[in-house]
Amino acid sequence: MVTRLRDREVVTLTADLVILTIREGELCLLLVERANEPFKSRSALPGGFLRAGETIEETALRELAEETSLDGLPLHLEQVGLYSAPDRDPREPRVVTCSFLAIAPNLPVPVAGSDAHAARWVPVRDVDRLTGGLAFDHAAILADALARARTKLQYTTIATAFCAPEFTISELREVYEVVWGVEVDRPNFHRKVTDADDFVVPTGKKSSKGTGRPALLYRAGTARVLHPPMVLPAAPESVVDG
Amino acid sequence: MVTRLRDREVVTLTADLVILTIREGELCLLLVERANEPFKSRSALPGGFLRAGETIEETALRELAEETSLDGLPLHLEQVGLYSAPDRDPREPRVVTCSFLAIAPNLPVPVAGSDAHAARWVPVRDVDRLTGGLAFDHAAILADALARARTKLQYTTIATAFCAPEFTISELREVYEVVWGVEVDRPNFHRKVTDADDFVVPTGKKSSKGTGRPALLYRAGTARVLHPPMVLPAAPESVVDG
DNA sequence: GCAAAAGTGTTTTAGCTACACCCATGT
DNA sequence: ACATGGGTGTAGCTAAAACACTTTTGC
């Protein structure tokens, strides 16, 4: 069968971002309020349209820069999946979106919303209670990105992307506890992280925050895979795209 | 900034498939010969255009059905990534592709090529030697899909997707050895697989193929994640999209 | 000194590795 | 009988879990 032109549907492509960070011990997500129809004034993931000459990754990075004040920070950005249900967006031409998982350190400024729409950090566990829920299929996109983040904490070093350039082992442990929602044994975590090959490297400096013994400061190492992996107690049914 | 229509580029979407199977102890890949420009008569991944009303998964399944004779078989199909470099395809409108990893049991018929183009199984390690290499960015797409398959063998039960509905433990072990390119200790593998929770379930039947003691036959269990994971000896730098 | 947080040691247990060994079938 | 592949047992090692303990700071 020869492919005929009428078999192809032209679409517009968007990049939608699940931008995660940790604020005050809570896993938070950046949401915007939609300024236009469809789903006007509903909460949605930040995102935008692919422009001529750019890759979808460049679209995602551009939107990320517009929504947050991160510039050259040690950011993690990865594709999660393509969402293409024909009825996911009523606009014409059809809108298909590529979702991205972005992980950011806690930003001092809540959000520098340069656009008209209000951008804000929302605790992930409060998302269900948003009036009307998320726009489009963004609830499903969020769930998949969260699952990806949770599994990737196990086998990769992305946990450091939640931290400032210099961080303590306890801050890194908090990442696991907050994202997984479980307690992690402090002494064993310390050993495991410092023993792992190039996960974290000591800076020599100390933290000196508040009471208690000052913690040593570390920065992220060059390792991308975590060997051996960090395993969470109960088996997580959280392997995405499978 | 308000999004203007001229900022959006319309694109056509394709699904490209990395269909893997094991034939005669070799990891093989389904390739087609392109019938049209661009890259006419070059080897390429099978794929096709998104049609109106279908999801990209349906596009992939439709192409898979056209290229192979699998019908309701226990097939594994998952998205790997979106490839959107502006110069990856010279056609207009711009062509962006979503790649899929498909894992199939060894099919008795090599390929039922219903289309004009010749489809054939090619050992993965021979792909580099193809005259001219693969069309488009398919070499990169293949590399990413292979990395995904190799890592997913560790933490998931997708290895059973390479096997017929009923299989022996040795056949399952061959999957790991062929995909990873390493030897796996037979006795330990047997224990690990049969001990894992619902990875494989015995059927009670025996194989009786050739000489030697007949092996018990198993079928795939319902577990999707493998706990504890199967680890390959040396750390693989093979975590994709990270 | 006391509370609080960081970091180290120790015991127990689970899982993996590397084999040796036995079992069931074809020739 | 013996070759061939399937399956089990076992000793030694490695790593993880649980928890006691020491160290360094602020008050």
Calculate mean pLDDT across residues A23-27. Answer: 93
How far apart (Å, rounded) are the C-alpha atoms in residues B41 and A115?
49
Nearest CA in chain B to A239: B225
Nearest CA in chain B to A53: B86
Q: Which token pair is B16?
A: 């490209």
Whole-number Cα distances in Å, A82 to A9, A154, B42, B201: 16, 24, 28, 34
Q: What is the DSSP letter of B99?
A: E
3-state secondary structure of B124: helix
With CB atoms and an 8 Å threshold, state whether B55 touches A86: yes
How far apart (Å, rounded) are the C-alpha atoms in residues B162 and B29?
12
Whole-number Cα distances in Å, A101 to A16, A29, A205: 9, 11, 31
What is the percentage of chain B residues whose pLDDT exceeds 90?
70
Please report where in the chains the tokens 């008569």 appear, as a residue: B41
Chain A hits for B238, CB-CB cut-off 8 Å, are 225
Q: Is A79 at the interface with chain B, CB within 8 A?
A: yes
Please report where in the chains the tokens 């049609």 appear, as a residue: B51
Phi, psi (rounded to 5 degrees) for A181: 70, 30
What letters, b where the CB count within 10 A reaches 16 and e where it falls short, cover B209-240? eeeeeebebbbbeebebbeebbebeeeeebbb
B97-113 pLDDT, tens digit each: 999 999 999 876 555 55
> Shortest CB distance from B9 goes to which of A51, A156, A242?
A51
Superfamily of domain A12-138: Nucleoside Triphosphate Pyrophosphohydrolase (3.90.79.10)
Q: Is the pLDDT of residue A43 over 50?
A: yes
With CB atoms and an 8 Å threshold, state whether A66 touches B1: yes
Give Cβ neighbours of residue B166 (< 8 Å, ≥ 6 apart). B203, B205, B217, B218, B219
Q: What type of residue is B201? A: V
Residue of higher predicted confidence among A210 and A142: A142
Q: Is the pLDDT of residue B115 over 60?
A: no
CB-based burial label for A64 (10 Å; 0-12, 13-18, 19+): buried
Helices assigned H by DSSP within chain A: 56-67, 138-155, 169-180, 186-195
How far apart (Å, rounded) are the C-alpha atoms in residues B29 and B103?
10
Q: Is the pLDDT of residue A100 over 70?
A: yes
Residue A205 backbone class (left: φ over 0; alpha: ψ -120 to 50; beta: rest) = beta
Domain topology for B155-220: Arc Repressor Mutant, subunit A (1.10.10)
- The residue ranges of every structural domain in chain B are 12-138, 155-220
Q: Is the pLDDT of residue B1 over 80?
A: no
Please, which pLDDT band fits residue B4 given cuts at 50, 70 and 90? low
Q: Is the pLDDT of residue B148 over 80?
A: yes
Residue of higher predicted confidence among A239 and A162: A162
B57-95 pLDDT, tens digit each: 999 999 998 887 766 666 899 999 999 999 999 998 999
Q: Which token pair is B47?
A: 């794929």
Task: From the CA of A203 to the C1' of C8: give the distance in Å.
Answer: 20
Task: From the CA of A211 to the C1' of C4: give the distance in Å.
Answer: 6
Calculate mean pLDDT across residues B42-48. Answer: 95
Q: What type of residue is B74? A: P
Task: From the CA of B207 to the C1' of D1: give the distance in Å.
Answer: 25
- For the whole prediction, is pTM greater than 0.75? yes
DSSP per residue, A140-197: HHHHHHHHHHHHHHHHBSGGGGGS-SSB-HHHHHHHHHHHHTS---HHHHHHHHHHST
197-216 in chain B: CB under 8 A from chain A? none
